[in-house]
Structure 1
Amino acid sequence: MQLNWKAAIALAALILAINTGARQAMGFMLPPMASELAWGMGSLSFALAIQNLVFGLAAPIASKLSDRFGTLSVFLVGSLCYAVGMGVTALWPTPTVWMLGAGVLAGIGIGATTFPLVLAAVTRVVPLQHRGIGLGIASAGGSFGQLVYSVATPMLVLIDWKIAMLALGASCLLLIPMALPLLRRPPAGSETQAEDVPSQGPLLQDRRFLALAGGFFVCGVHVAFIATHLPNFVVACGLPLNVAGNTLAIIGALNIAGTILFGAWGGRRHPPQLLMLIYLCRAALVMAMVVIPPSSMLLYAFGAIMGVLWLSTVPLTSQAVALYFGQKRQAFVFGMVLAAHQVGAFLGAWGGGVVYQLTGSYDLLWIASGIFGLLAALVHWPVRREPKRMVQPQLA
Structure 2
Amino acid sequence: MTTVPSRAASAVPPAVVVVCGCLVAILTFGPRSTMGFFLTPMTTANGWSREVFALAIALQNLMWGLGQPFAGMIADRFGTWRVLTAGALLYALGLVTMAYTTDPVGLQFTAGVLLGLGIAGSAFFMVLAAFARLLPASFRGTAYGLGTAAGSMGQLLFAPIGLGVIDRYGYQNALLVLACLMAVVPLLAIPLKGKPAAGGGVGGRDQTIREALGEAFGHRSYWLLIAGFFVCGFHVAFVTTHLPPYIVDKGLDASWGAWALGLIGLFNIAGSLIAGQLSNRLPKRYILSVIYFGRAVAYGLFWLLPTSPTTVLLFSAAAGFLWLSTVPPTQGLVGVMFGTRYIAMLSGIVFFSHQIGAFLGVWLGGRLYDATHSYDGVWILGVLLGIFAGIVHLPIRETAVPRPVTA
TM class by shorter chain equals over 0.9
Q: Once the 2 structures are TM-superposed, how far is the Cα of residue 203 of structure 1 from its aligned partner? A: 2.9
> Aligned partners of 2:77 and 2:19: how far apart in 1?
27
> Aligned partners of 2:24 and 2:342: how far apart in 1?
22
The answer (yes or no) to whether the contact 1:116–1:330 under 8 Å persists in 2 is no
Q: Once the 2 structures are TM-superposed, how far is the Cα of residue 206 of structure 1 from its aligned partner? A: 1.7
> Aligned partners of 1:229 and 1:187: how far apart in 2?
43
Match of 1:174 in 2: 184
Matched, 1:283 2:325: no
Q: Once the 2 structures are TM-superposed, how far is the Cα of residue 91 of structure 1 from its aligned partner? A: 2.6
The answer (yes or no) to whether the contact 1:217–1:343 under 8 Å persists in 2 is yes
Q: Deviations over 1:241-263 (max 9, x none)?
A: 11010011011011111101110
Equivalent of residue 55 in structure 2, options 37, 46, 59 = 46
Match of 2:237 in 1: 224
> Aligned partners of 2:370 and 2:319: how far apart in 1?
26
> Aligned partners of 2:145 and 2:184: how far apart in 1?
22
Q: Specify the SS of the correspondent of 1:174.
A: helix
Q: Once the 2 structures are TM-superposed, how far is the Cα of residue 184 of structure 1 from its aligned partner? A: 4.9
Matched, 1:23 2:36: no
> Aligned partners of 2:291 and 2:355: how far apart in 1?
19
The 5 Å alignment of 1:60-75 reads: 60-75=69-84
Q: Specify the SS of the correspondent of 2:229.
A: helix
Equivalent of residue 325 in structure 1, options 338, 346, 358 = 338
> Aligned partners of 2:26 and 2:125: how far apart in 1?
14
Match of 1:387 in 2: 399
Matched, 1:260 2:260: no
The answer (yes or no) to whether the contact 2:333–2:398 under 8 Å persists in 1 is no
Q: Once the 2 structures are TM-superposed, how far is the Cα of residue 223 of structure 1 from its aligned partner? A: 0.4
The aligned amino acid for 1:308 is: F
Q: Once the 2 structures are TM-superposed, how far is the Cα of residue 350 of structure 1 from its aligned partner? A: 0.7
Equivalent of residue 322 in structure 2, options 304, 309, 314 = 309
TM score, norm. by length of structure 2: 0.90
Q: Once the 2 structures are TM-superposed, how far is the Cα of residue 202 of structure 1 from its aligned partner? A: 4.0
Match of 2:129 in 1: 120
Q: Could you list the runs of 5+ residues in structure 2 that have no partner in the other structure?
A: 1-9, 200-205, 402-407
The 5 Å alignment of 1:122-141 reads: 122-141=131-150
Match of 1:341 in 2: 354
Match of 2:202 in 1: none
Of the structure 1 ranges 99-108 and 64-73, higher mean CA displacement relative to structure 2 is found in 64-73
Of the structure 1 ranges 78-87 and 159-168, higher mean CA displacement relative to structure 2 is found in 159-168
The answer (yes or no) to whether the contact 1:230–1:244 under 8 Å persists in 2 is yes
> Aligned partners of 2:196 and 2:399: how far apart in 1?
29
> Aligned partners of 1:187 and 1:104: how far apart in 2?
33
Q: Once the 2 structures are TM-superposed, how far is the Cα of residue 199 of structure 1 from its aligned partner? A: 5.6
Q: Once the 2 structures are TM-superposed, how far is the Cα of residue 13 of structure 1 from its aligned partner? A: 1.2
Match of 1:94 in 2: 103
Q: Deviations over 1:129-178 (max 9, x none)?
A: 22211111111111100000111011011121111111222222221111
The aligned amino acid for 1:147 is: L
> Aligned partners of 1:115 and 1:157: how far apart in 2?
25
Aligned length: 383
The aligned amino acid for 1:357 is: D
Match of 2:21 in 1: 12
Match of 1:234 in 2: 247
Of the structure 1 ranges 243-252 and 13-22, higher mean CA displacement relative to structure 2 is found in 13-22
Equivalent of residue 3 in structure 1, options 12, 16, 28 = 12
Equivalent of residue 308 in structure 2, options 280, 295, 302 = 295
Matched, 1:78 2:87: yes
Match of 1:192 in 2: none
